[in-house]
Amino acid sequence: MSILLYGMNHESAPLDLRERLVVPEGELVSTVGRLAGAGDVEEGLILSTCNRTEILVHARAASAERTLKSFLLTVGRATPEELERHCYLHTDRDAVRHVFRVASSLDSMIVGEPQILGQVKEAYAAAHAAGSLKTVLDSLLQRAFSVAKRVRTETGIARAPVSIAHAAAARAHEIFGDLSHSAVLVVGAGKMARLAAQHVAADGVGSIRVVNRSYQRAAELARELSGAALSWDRLPGELALADVVIVSTGAPHHIITQDDASRVARHRRGRPIFFIDIAVPRNVDPRVNDLDNVYVYDVDDLKSVAEAGLRERRHEAEAAEQIVERETTAYIDWLRSLEVTPTIVALRSHLHALGAAELERFRSRLGPLTPEQQRALEEFETALMNKILHHPIQALKRSTARPGAGTLVAFLREAFGLDGRGPANRGS
């Protein structure tokens, strides 16, 4: 059995490819359900965010790599060549370490950002809803949540946390400086839109308006931001009035085209407008950035802020990596123990059953026994079998600390006849 993780992230793949492989939130449970029934897959989970799409499985064989590659091709629009160029595969220990690093925000574009742990928990909930988690991956994700908590409480990596939303706000301040007289338009009402708007408005803005397809959700967010809610049909006119436009909807296409932005630019007569597009797939056509006095930043454009954040957190990240490494070892040791535990149980049961059977076979030769004598014989049988079992069981337990436990398990199962083939089950 193997743990495999196959996918791509912001380091390995361009945004254009990542956005084509995003699994919509409403389709995640059904997609994970399909994964759990694919090929050699025993358990499965899919993590799909703006920065990564990763498939995590517990499979019957390492050859499940082919299954994962084929499955990812069904998720979105990508070619086998693109996956070969931009995807990575981690197995067993490396896969466990990667999961812990992702949950702890060590593999994020902005190290220490707080959103990823919530996204991992949402992926875990979707996999549970799909019935695709069993002992191995369920325990792995539970351990990942514990590791993330240790990293955040035992290191300073989350001190003054930053995020994509924080980085977007920093870019807005760089372009406009003081935003106290600027108009902010928020398109979308999800978590990322709210976070970005909160960061942009932290030092004060002239006004905030929220446009969303669901007016009720727009009104809820507008109340949080002390702004005004608007109906979706007001979007074209509001764009011309805004200085900063935060866009983050679940739409799988561009909702602001180059033609839309061109009309806005003409209406503004040279006054700059700044689009923060933190949606994946992107909601603003990238060609909008070609227009004069129109600026567009998407999630990949914020990497410079991410790199600065990494430099500031490097020391704390090193401490976090040590926690991850220790926890990875602990989990792998536990996983290997699962491999030997059934054999230990079977070995104990088998030898004690043999001892009891032999004792019963010779019992008639001993004549009448007192209760004390009977107990003494039973205690003798138990003590003898425990002594015989001691060294094989200790060897099995030691084997969990190193690769190759399966070879010893197979040998002992055959040597003691635990699968009905060994010498112990043949005629005496």
Across-strand partners of 4? 57, 91
Give the model's pLDDT for residue 203: 73
Give the model's pLDDT for residue 428: 40
The answer, yes or no, to whether residue 22 has pLDDT greater than 90, is: yes
Report the distance separating Cα 285 and Cα 307, nearest Å.
Answer: 26
Please name which of 260, 201, 259, 206 lies closest in space to residue 235, comparing C-alpha atoms: 260
The answer, yes or no, to whether residue 422 has pLDDT greater than 60, is: no
Give the model's pLDDT for residue 395: 79
Give the model's pLDDT for residue 404: 63
For residues 333, 335, 338 and 339, what is the CA-based torsion angle, rounded to 10 degrees? -90
Condensed to tens digits (0 to 9), the pLDDT of residues 396-420 reads 777 766 666 667 777 777 777 887 6
Burial annotation 29-44 (CB, 10 A radius, 16+ → b, else e): bebbbbbbebbbbbbb
Give the model's pLDDT for residue 375: 87
Residue 423's pLDDT band, with cuts at 50, 70 and 90, is very low
Average pLDDT on 225-251 reads 93
Across-strand partners of 184? 208, 244
Give the model's pLDDT for residue 426: 43
Tell me the percentage of the chain whose pLDDT exceeds 70. 92
| Architecture, CATH, for domain 2-161 | 2-Layer Sandwich (3.30)
The answer, yes or no, to whether residue 309 has pLDDT greater than 80, is: no
More confident call, 113 vs 306: 113
CA angle (133 as vertex; 140, 130 as ends), nearest 5: 140
Contact indicator for 185, 246 with CB cutoff of 8 Å: yes
> What DSSP state is assigned to residue 26?
G
Tokens 């802020």 belong to 305
More confident call, 408 vs 11: 11
Residue 241's pLDDT band, with cuts at 50, 70 and 90, is very high
The answer, yes or no, to whether residue 322 has pLDDT greater than 90, is: yes
Tell me how far CA of residue 65 lies from CA of 68, 131, 243, in angstroms. Answer: 5, 21, 48
| Architecture, CATH, for domain 168-305 | 3-Layer(aba) Sandwich (3.40)
Condensed to tens digits (0 to 9), the pLDDT of residues 356-411 reads 888 888 877 888 888 888 888 888 888 888 888 888 878 777 776 666 666 777 77
87 catalytic, yes or no?
no
- As a residue count, the chain comes to 428
Catalytic residue among 50, 78, 187, 294: 50
More confident call, 87 vs 416: 87
Domain range summary for the chain, segments of one domain joined by +: 2-161, 168-305, 334-425
Give the model's pLDDT for residue 160: 54
